[in-house]
């Protein structure tokens, strides 16, 4: 590992969602401001918003978000106030998937840039008798991965009745829920996908992902991502396991007006089937839905091929070995920026492994295959 590793954990107890956002904004004000001022992607989003057509589109997404999930828009407002960043600029981050992979194309960004930008996450799901877990590599560019943190949030009313409680690995200025996280009932990890078009009348996908942290079942997550009567604005892969049961699935979402196309592939337990794999891999391309995507997803498919070449995962260490694999010179599973890669500036910001039988979350900031110990171990809620 490097000489030192760090990952801030912020504990928040608040009465409402605005206060959650405000606490995050004040605590990570420097990182949020630096990212907003220096990120080339953010500069592109702001340029898009200054255009009349871009502003109209962004305002439409904001209006839909306010109508469907006002509490999470309040969370963004709190983060903006706490970090002293303009709300409109911070809201652009919440629609970054829609902007980056669809709408910036309308601003004449080269297709190749869109097809290869920022793709790198890998998930391993294992649903064995003695080993139930979800392992996840969270990959993004260095300007984000150097400013990551974990929030442990409890929202309680005046009588101290808990309304929401969750843990979320987070990026600077983005709503919680956009990375891997958990609550008392579920563990959740995400892989970005790239549908060819966005649903302009839908709810921004980052807001829907935030709503999953308040769900207590896979059925609730499915309903949230179907998002009737608006549909999701964009697509996503969501990997979910129940904490107090045996259900585990990989969900794919494709944006449609009125109701998103949502398909689940369940990972069977060994007790349910002796002739089926009790594990599953997912990366950044559609596997369960026949979908139009913005590119061939070559890098993602190479990582998929590599995971299937490796021995079936049966232990926490097996998952660490897969997520730490660097064999492919073009598209390794564990990412270190390299000019030879499809996405040369992408790196693995962290590896999260939810060991459900142990009720522990292991977080690695260095290669999990080589690390003597995780950077952080958190008990389940």
Q: Mean pLDDT, the chain, as a whole number?
A: 93
**Local structure of residue 294 (DSSP, 8 states):** S
Does the structure show a pLDDT above 70 at 203? yes
C-alpha 166: how far from its chain's center? Answer: 15
Cα–Cα distance for residue pair 203/225, rounded to 1 Å: 9
Cα–Cα distance for residue pair 379/381, rounded to 1 Å: 6
Does the structure show a pLDDT above 50 at 108? no
Q: What is the mean pLDDT of residues 300-305?
A: 94
Q: What is the radius of gyration, based on Cα positions, of the chain? A: 19
Reported as a single tens digit per residue, the pLDDT across 114-168 is 444 556 799 999 999 889 999 999 999 889 989 999 999 999 999 999 999 999 9
Residue 105, pLDDT score? 72
Which residues are CB-contacts of 67 (< 8 A; sequence separation ≥ 6)? none
Residue 115, pLDDT score? 47
The encoded tokens of residue 139 equal 């990959």
Does the structure show a pLDDT above 90 at 322? yes
Which runs of E-coded beta strand occur in the chain? 9-14, 122-127, 132-141, 149-156, 162-170, 181-182, 186-192, 236-242, 248-254, 261-266, 279-282, 346-355, 360-364, 376-379
Least Cα distance to 167 among 363, 372, 369 occurs for 363
Residues facing residue 280 across a β-bridge: 125
Domains defined for the chain, CATH in brackets: 9-114 (no CATH), 118-148+177-379 (3.60.60.10)
C-alpha 30: how far from its chain's center? Answer: 22
Q: What is the mean pLDDT of residues 106-117?
A: 50
Residue 356, pLDDT score? 97
Least Cα distance to 354 among 375, 371, 379 occurs for 379
Please tell me whether residue 164 adopts helix, strand or coil conformation: strand
Q: What confidence category does residue 112 fall into, taking pLDDT thresholds of 50, 70 and 90?
A: very low
Other Cβ atoms within 10 Å of 251 Cβ, number? 23
The encoded tokens of residue 372 equal 């003597």
Least Cα distance to 213 among 103, 324, 318, 69 occurs for 69
Reported as a single tens digit per residue, the pLDDT across 53-77 is 899 999 999 999 999 999 999 999 9
Which phi-psi region, left, alpha or beta, contains residue 85 (left: φ > 0; alpha: ψ -120 to 50)? beta
Residue 295, pLDDT score? 83
Residue 153, pLDDT score? 98
Residue 341, pLDDT score? 86
Predicted model pTM? 0.95
């Amino acid at each position: 590992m490097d000489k030192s590793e760090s990952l801030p954990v912020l504990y928040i107890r608040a009465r409402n969602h605005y206060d959650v956002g405000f606490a995050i904004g004040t605590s990570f004000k420097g990182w949020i401001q630096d990212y907003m001022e220096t990120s080339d992607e953010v500069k592109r989003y702001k340029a898009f918003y200054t255009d009349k057509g871009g502003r109209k589109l962004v305002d439409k997404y904001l209006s839909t978000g306010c109508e469907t999930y006002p509490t999470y828009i309040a969370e963004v407002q709190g983060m903006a106030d706490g970090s002293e960043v303009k709300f409109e600029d911070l809201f652009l981050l919440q629609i970054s998937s829609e902007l980056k992979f669809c709408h910036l194309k309308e601003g004449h960004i080269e297709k190749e840039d869109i097809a290869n930008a920022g793709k790198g996450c890998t998930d391993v799901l294992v649903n064995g008798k003695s080993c139930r877990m979800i392992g996840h590599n969270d990959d993004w560019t260095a300007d984000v991965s150097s400013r990551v943190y974990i929030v442990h949030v409890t929202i309680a009313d005046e009588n101290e009745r808990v309304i929401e409680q969750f843990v979320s690995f987070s990026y600077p200025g983005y709503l919680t829920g956009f990375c891997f996280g958990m609550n008392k009932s579920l563990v959740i990890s995400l892989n970005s996908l790239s549908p060819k078009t966005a649903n302009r009348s839908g709810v921004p996908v980052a807001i829907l992902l935030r709503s999953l942290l308040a769900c207590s079942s896979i059925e609730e997550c499915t309903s949230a991502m179907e998002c009737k009567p608006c549909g999701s604005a964009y697509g996503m892969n969501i990997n979910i396991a129940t904490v107090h049961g045996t259900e585990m699935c990989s969900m794919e979402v494709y944006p449609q007006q009125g109701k998103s196309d949502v398909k689940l592939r369940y990972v069977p337990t060994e007790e349910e089937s002796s002739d089926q794999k009790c594990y599953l891999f997912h990366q950044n391309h559609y596997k369960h839905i026949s979908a139009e995507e913005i590119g061939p997803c070559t890098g993602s498919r190479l990582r998929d091929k590599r995971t299937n070449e490796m021995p079936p995962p049966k232990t926490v260490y097996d998952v660490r070995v897969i997520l730490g694999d660097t064999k492919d010179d073009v598209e390794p599973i564990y990412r270190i920026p390299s000019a030879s890669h499809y996405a040369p500036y992408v790196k693995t910001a962290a590896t999260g492994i939810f060991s459900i039988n142990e009720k522990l979350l292991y977080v690695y900031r260095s290669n999990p295959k080589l690390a003597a110990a995780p950077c952080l171990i958190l008990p389940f809620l």
